[in-house]
A and B are shown apart, each in its own frame.
Chain A
Amino acid sequence: MSIRALIDGTGLSLNACASTLGVDTQIFKEWADGKREMPPSYAETLSAILGVNSKLFDSRTTDLRKAETPAIWFKLRGDEFTDADRESILLIRRLGHNLNQFERATDGQSNRGWEILFERIRAAVNLQDSPQAQGRKAAEAFRSFTQFGLGGKGAAEYLRGAVRAKGILVLESPISGSQLEGCTFLVGETEMQRPCIFVNTYKSTWFRRNVIIMHELAHAILDHNLGVAIDRIEAEGSKNSRLNSIQEVRAEAFARECLLPKQLVMSFCAQTGAKPTRLAPESLAGLVAFSGVEQKTVVALLREYELIDDSLAAQYLLFEIWEILRGMTEHALSTMQFIERIGAQAAQQWENKRYTTVGTRKIMLPVNYVQSVIEAVVGYKISMSRATELLMIDLEVFLERFGHLMPAAAE
């Protein structure tokens, strides 16, 4: 029994693991087969990204036969998931480990603000209530403890910042051809683990992703005992097929209540003079832009709040609002339209600069993370070579992307 067997159990390939660590495949195979000892620094990173204790890789003290597949890989090894799903998650888990390390380097410790927040929210929820009531109560607690959305207007604009400020890793990146829409799991070394929320941006809109992020956040808070939650893309035309368990109903209620509570709908109507029963495509688009919530969910909420009936809901779902929405918010623009809006020069600042090159897939790193790493190099808090590890890119790529921002190399 060997590291190879442990990795086989995850559904990952040795090549994917080697590539994610930036290690030659042949060397990694020798480690995996016990022909060569894995240096402890690599064992530490591998254990963090696989989600096992690093002591497992110490051949002197451990028998790998005792190693069982961690929850995330147990769930992901099913046939409904692809290699692209698993390999992207592997990279995301590497990012989680890197983020912990980066925060230790720059702040002395990793941000664990989420721990207290989650505990307070859990304490506010009565598990004997209906799943919907549990989700709403949790949302109310979340909004109260974080001041999220209390300004009276749509909170989606600063949703990501609010979640990240609590030390939660939020990552949005495309995985083409995947059925994975969103998921949440713990990342980082066992003693420094933190929640990570991943949303697949492939053929998705910003408005949809806002709902998914909050849905996954609810899983992270309320379903922590599972360690992992994975949501797949609903088939076209299906009616809430996902909402078939307490966990899913609760998470969806949380997301909706956080992003578009009834008072926000009423506030929008009061400000614009719109009446829920007489919405034109323009006013429905206005409500979508105002809340940052996709059309389908907005209409479902109007119905849930009993502001409209079933027939009006069906009518509103047929409204073509996308073109109108483009005139209201840049979040509705395509990439090309957005670049046209901000100008090619401004677009170049981040264009193709956030993709990783290490690993068998590419993930797009959050802007604020890349920016913080670059600032740390410029401020001599970390070295360029360290930055390449944290950004999961080669040195040549780093210099090509950010060389012009670096301090002049000393002799």
Chain B
Amino acid sequence: MSSASELSFIFDTDALAQIFITGHQIILAHLKDQYGVSSYLMSEVEVELLSNRRISGLVRPRYEKALKNGWIKLLTSGDLERVSKSIGIEVTLHEIRTLASDLKLLIGNGEAHTHAAAILLGCPSVSNDQQAIRVLEANGKQMPSSVLRSFDLFGFCYHEHILSEREAEEIRTTLRGQGEWVPISMKNSTFVGGLAAMACRLSTSMAATQSSAGWSGTFYLQRRSDTP
């Protein structure tokens, strides 16, 4: 992957919800400013995020702030045109929705659109629903090149000193308290204590690239300060 191409993460509802629940939406800004990662969501994901009665009251103002500040964007035709040009593959919203309508026979609507966009743009999707990924795999469907979990982002931000140990631990306890998914290794351990066993899928390198281990392999980001 060329360092000149625009790097995008496509977020699914559950992973994005966790970021907003913890109130650490600023990490999306750090991803953009320090690693050149643009965060996107499909409009189907936005609908799911704001329609979840349990969390929408908490999430809505934080989401709107992130949207207003440009930390995350709804994927539009204009974005696609720009990203397409950058990666050298032309992708349209219609193509994403056509692939999503096939995937959504098997998995949820929001995640179908998230993975469809990630597959066609050749970029990572960020989703916590590993069972949905297994279903796509079991049914021989095309997979995103990389699937990150919200805790891969939290772990990455901890390693990169964007989150302190205290903040990371707060994230874990907040999500546990809300009955949200946390990695098994962190259920009965601290954030830092469980991080190594979680096998974080996001790291840094001298160039933005990914391992050849498939969708669960490590994805490497390049710090902008390291750019030659």
Contacts and interface: CB of A to CB of B under 8 A. Distances in A.
Interface of A: 22-24, 27, 37, 39-42, 44, 101, 104-105, 380-386, 388-389, 396, 407, 409-411
B135 A42 contact: no
A411 B47 contact: no
Contact of A41 (B50, B51, B101, B131): B101
Nearest to B101: A41
Given A22-B51, A39-B44, A41-B44, A382 B113 contact: no
Nearest to B56: A24
16 contacts: A22-B51, A23-B51, A24-B47, A27-B51, A37-B43, A41-B101, A44-B101, A380-B139, A383-B108, A383-B135, A385-B107, A385-B131, A386-B105, A386-B132, A389-B108, A409-B130
B106 A381 contact: yes
Contacts of A409: 130-131
Contacts of B134: 380, 410
Contacts of B70: none
Nearest to B49: A24
B138 A42 contact: no
Given A380-B135, A410-B130, A411-B130, A23 B47 contact: yes
A27 B50 contact: yes
B109 interface: yes
A242 B42 CA distance: 51
A381 B50 contact: no
A386 B107 CA distance: 5
A386 B108 contact: yes
A289 to B, nearest CB: 43
B106 A382 contact: yes
Contacts of A104: 105
B97 A383 contact: no
Nearest to A108: B105
B129 interface: yes
B132 A383 contact: yes
A381 B135 contact: yes
A380 B113 CA distance: 19
B87 to A, nearest CB: 24
A385 B183 contact: no
A118 B184 CA distance: 54
B159 interface: no
B223 interface: no
A283 B45 CA distance: 62
A3 to B, nearest CB: 15
Given A39-B43, A41-B100, A383 B131 contact: yes
Contact of A385 (B47, B129, B138, B198): B129
B51 A382 contact: no
B135 to A, nearest CB: 4
Interface in B136-166: 138-139
Q: Which of A41, A42, A410 is most buried by chain B, counting CB atoms within 10 A of its CB? A: A41
Contacts of B132: 383-386
A389 B109 CA distance: 9
B32 interface: no
A23 B139 CA distance: 29
A386 B129 CA distance: 11
Q: Which 7 A-B pairs have the closest CB atoms?
A: A385-B108, A383-B132, A105-B105, A380-B138, A24-B51, A383-B107, A383-B135
B50 A24 contact: yes
Given A42-B44, A386-B104, A386-B106, 14 more contacts: A22-B51, A23-B51, A24-B56, A39-B47, A41-B97, A41-B104, A41-B109, A42-B47, A101-B105, A380-B135, A386-B107, A396-B179, A409-B131, A410-B130
Contacts of B139: 380-381
B129 A383 contact: yes
Given A24-B56, A381-B139, A40 B130 contact: no
Contacts of A407: 131
Contacts of B42: 39
A280 to B, nearest CB: 57
Contacts of B100: 41
Interface in B171-201: 179, 183-184, 198
Q: For A23, A382, A409, A411, which residue has the most chain B Cβ atoms within 10 angstroms?
A: A411
Contacts of B50: 24, 27
A108 B47 CA distance: 28
Contact of A382 (B44, B54, B135): B135
Indicate the member of B97, B109, B132, B184 with the most A CB atoms within 10 Å: B109
Contact of B183 (A39, A381, A384, A411): A411
A135 B107 CA distance: 44
Contacts of A22: 51
A384 B47 contact: no
Nearest to A26: B50
A270 to B, nearest CB: 52
A55 to B, nearest CB: 14
A385 to B, nearest CB: 3
Nearest to A399: B179
A105 B56 contact: no
A306 B70 CA distance: 81
Contacts of A381: 106, 135, 138-139
